[in-house]
Chains A and B, each alone.
Chain A
Amino acid sequence: MTSFLFAAAIFVLVMEALGLVRILRGPADADRILSVQLIGSGGVAVLLLLSAATQTPAIMDVALMLALLATFVSVAFLRDVRPSDEPTNT
Chain B
Amino acid sequence: MTYDVLFDLGLAGVLIAIAAGAIFARGSFVSLVLFMVYGLLLAIVWVRLSAVDVALTETAIGGGVTGMLLLGAASRLRATKGSAAKAGFPARLAAGALCILVSIALGIVVYALPEVPPTLAPIAKENLASSGLGNPVAGVLFVYRALDTLLEKVVLLLALVGVWSLAQDQAWGGMPGLRVYAKPNSILVFLAQVLPPVGITVGIYMFWAGANRPGGAFQGGTVLAAMWLLVMMARLREVPAIDTLWVRQLLVVGPAIFLLIGLLGFVFADSFLAYPPDHAKPLIVIAEAALTLSIGVTLALLVAGPPERLRQ
Residue B209 interfacial (CB < 8 Å): yes
Question: What DSSP secondary structure best describes chain A's contact surface?
Answer: helix
Question: Are A3 and B3 within 8 A (Cβ)?
Answer: yes
- Chain B binding surface SS class: helix
Of residues A14, A17, A72, A79, which shows the largest number of chain B Cβ atoms within 10 Å of its Cβ?
A72
Q: Which of B25-33, B110-118, B156-164 contacts A (4 or more CB under 8 A)?
A: B25-33
- Which of A3, A50, A80, A88 is within 8 Å of B47, CB to CB? A50
Whether a CB of chain A sits under 8 angstroms from the CB of B180 is yes
In the complex, the answer to whether B33 meets A6 with C-beta atoms within 8 Å is: no
Q: How many residues of A contact B (CB 8 A)?
A: 49
What interface size band does chain B fall in? 35 or more
A1-40 vs B, CB cutoff 8 Å, 1 = contact: the mask equals 0110011011001101100100110100100110110011
Q: Nearest chain-A residue to B48 (Cβ)?
A: A50
- Complex: how many Å from CA A43 to CA B71? 21
A61 touching B181 by the CB < 8 A rule?
Answer: no
Q: A-B pairs with the 8 shortest C-beta distances? A: A6-B3, A69-B64, A80-B75, A72-B226, A76-B68, A58-B52, A58-B214, A65-B59
15 interchain pairs, CB-CB under 8 A? A2-B4, A10-B3, A13-B7, A20-B37, A23-B21, A65-B56, A65-B59, A69-B63, A70-B63, A72-B226, A73-B63, A80-B71, A80-B74, A80-B75, A82-B78
**Residues on B close to A: CB < 8 A?**
2-4, 6-7, 10-11, 14, 17-18, 21, 25-27, 29-30, 33-34, 36-37, 40-41, 43-44, 47-48, 52, 55-56, 59-60, 63-64, 67-68, 71, 74-75, 78, 179-181, 188, 191, 195, 198-199, 202, 206, 209, 213-215, 219, 223, 226-227, 229-230, 233
Q: Which residues of A contact B (CB under 8 A)?
A: 2-3, 6-7, 9-10, 13-14, 16-17, 20, 23-24, 26, 29, 32-33, 35-36, 39-40, 43, 46-47, 50, 53, 56, 58-59, 61-62, 64-66, 68-73, 75-77, 79-80, 82, 88-90
